[in-house]
Structure 1
Amino acid sequence: MSEPVADVVARGYDRLAQAYAGLEDGVEWPRLRRLRELLARLPQGSRVLDLGCGNGVPATAEIAKRHVAFGVDVSPRQIELARQNVPDATLSVGDVLELRYEPGSFDAIVAFYTFDHIPRERLPEMLDLMRGWLADGGWALFTVEAEEQVDTVAKWLGEPMFFSSYDAETSRRLVAEAGFEIVDAEVEEQLEGGHPVSYLWITARRREEER
């Protein structure tokens, strides 16, 4: 593909901001339930990064209730909406693979429906970055689609969108190899515009460094 992946994804979500938000109307996605379970493990005031935060609702807004919320999205339009929806969060536009934070910057990192939009061969790189940004024992909660997709651009909600993912077993293995202790890994289905989609939900901790 000649056009950079991040450009395809950014343009798609710029145009689809309203349509994407509408996918969750009238249905209950696992996102908020699983996020609340994670946040309950953290001391109040923990620093939490939301990768691919979209318009900030509901995840970044939920984080900001008791914690210090940070959000990044590749779509300028989504970040514009997030600044309106979650004014207390620190938000920025960026490609998640190009971000650079100091080691140990965050107590937890979440990424919902984000990693399917990066080339799957770069997932180990993404996991390595996350591990470096987390404090020892820090938490991660994220999704990957639970099926094989090899770097595909397809029409989604009427716009071109990039998708790429491994099967669930491969994704779990890559997480463990990246230095995380997997606390929970479960495939759960959700409805998107009436269509069922299965995601692998992973809750993990950064293994503490040996002293």
Structure 2
Amino acid sequence: MANATSDLSVDKKIVQDGYDKMAEKYDDWTKDDPRNRTHYTELLIKNLPPNATVLEIGCGAGAPILEMLAKTGAKVLANDISTAMIELAKKRCPEATFMPGDMTALDIAPSSLHAVAAFFSIIHLPREEQPTMLSKIHGWLADGGQTAFTLACMDASEIRSSFFGQDMFWSSFDVKSSKAMVQAAGFEILQAEVLEVAEDVDPDDPDYGVKFLWILAKKPEAAA
């Protein structure tokens, strides 16, 4: 198991630089926010076996998801492309094993994980890399392991905007294509729904009115 060390593309460098510069603002925005991702994390947690190993892709500053995973007593791995985010997360969850860098370059043993959380992270990959990323997650999971993640809902190969005052990059398939991509990676979809990030969000919030495809999926048990 090794850190991701691949050279970054222009798009990924935009993501890395943006989150490095906004790290503390982003942390303040998310750390006490009970949004849908906490519910989906709870769904993952309730199915963890004893002595589980779990991974969060796009852990940010460690709150609230990494903290939730760490409290289970599982062995927790954490990845983020932003060095500044990783440094904040280390202070919050020092018991986790941190694997900084490009998620697509993570080196994780096959069938070694029991759960993977990836909220608002896979969408930062160019969409041509997203099917391969899901296949990697499938390979890392043990049979019966589950993953919870978000994908965007629009058909757009490139979405660029300002996020907390920083340039940012996202990429997406439409909902039907995203579901097909998840199934093509070998997953059984347990739950899939299009939801706003949270209810009663202030109109000035960056997530006001924004919808994502929320997915809980399982790597099927191997045939006997």
Shorter-chain TM-score tier: over 0.9
CA change 1:194–1:97 in 2 (3 A) is closer
CA change 1:23–1:147 in 2 (3 A) is farther
Whether 2:85 is the aligned partner of 1:78: answer yes
Partner secondary structure for residue 209 of structure 2: strand
- Structure 2 distance, partners of 1:105, 1:52, is 19
Deviation by residue 1:22-46 (Cα, 9 ceiling, x = unmatched): 3347753111122012201112331
Whether 2:132 is the aligned partner of 1:132: answer no
- Structure 2 distance, partners of 1:194, 1:133, is 31
Partner of 2:189: 182
Q: Which moved more, 1:151-160 or 1:113-122?
A: 151-160
State the aligned residue count.
Answer: 210
Partner of 1:50: 56
* 2:214 partner amino acid: W
How much does 1:101 deviate? 1.0
How much does 1:134 deviate? 0.6
Whether 2:161 is the aligned partner of 1:154: answer yes
How much does 1:210 deviate? 3.3
- Structure 2 distance, partners of 1:204, 1:194, is 24
* 2:14 partner amino acid: V
How much does 1:194 deviate? 6.0
* 1:200 partner amino acid: L
Partner of 1:62: 68
Contact 2:31 2:64 in 1 (8 A): no
Q: What is the identity percentage for the equivalent residue pairs of Structure 1 and Structure 2?
A: 36
Whether 2:43 is the aligned partner of 1:30: answer no
Which of the pair is proportionally richer in strand? 1
* 1:138 partner amino acid: G
Whether 2:180 is the aligned partner of 1:173: answer yes
How much does 1:208 deviate? 2.7
- Structure 1 distance, partners of 2:141, 2:21, is 32
Partner of 2:218: 205
Partner of 2:130: 123
Tell me the TM-score normalised to structure 1 length: 0.93
Q: Which moved more, 1:200-209 or 1:70-79?
A: 200-209
How much does 1:154 deviate? 2.2
CA change 1:179–1:25 in 2 (3 A) is closer
* 2:218 partner amino acid: R
Q: CA RMSD in A?
A: 1.8
How much does 1:158 deviate? 1.0
Partner secondary structure for residue 59 of structure 2: coil
- Structure 2 distance, partners of 1:27, 1:94, is 25
Partner secondary structure for residue 130 of structure 1: helix
Whether 2:24 is the aligned partner of 1:18: answer yes
CA change 1:208–1:25 in 2 (3 A) is closer
How much does 1:174 deviate? 0.5
CA change 1:90–1:199 in 2 (3 A) is same
Could you tell me which runs of 5 or more consecutive residues in structure 1 were left unpaired when the two chains were aligned. none
How much does 1:104 deviate? 0.8
Partner secondary structure for residue 195 of structure 1: coil
Partner of 1:97: 104
Partner secondary structure for residue 103 of structure 1: coil
How much does 1:122 deviate? 1.2
Contact 1:23 1:193 in 2 (8 A): no
Deviation by residue 1:75-111 (Cα, 9 ceiling, x = unmatched): 0000000000001111121100111211111011110
Deviation by residue 1:61-84 (Cα, 9 ceiling, x = unmatched): 110111211100000000000000
Could you tell me which runs of 5 or more consecutive residues in structure 2 were left unpaired when the two chains were aligned. 1-7
Deviation by residue 1:125-165 (Cα, 9 ceiling, x = unmatched): 00111011111111111001122222233222211111101
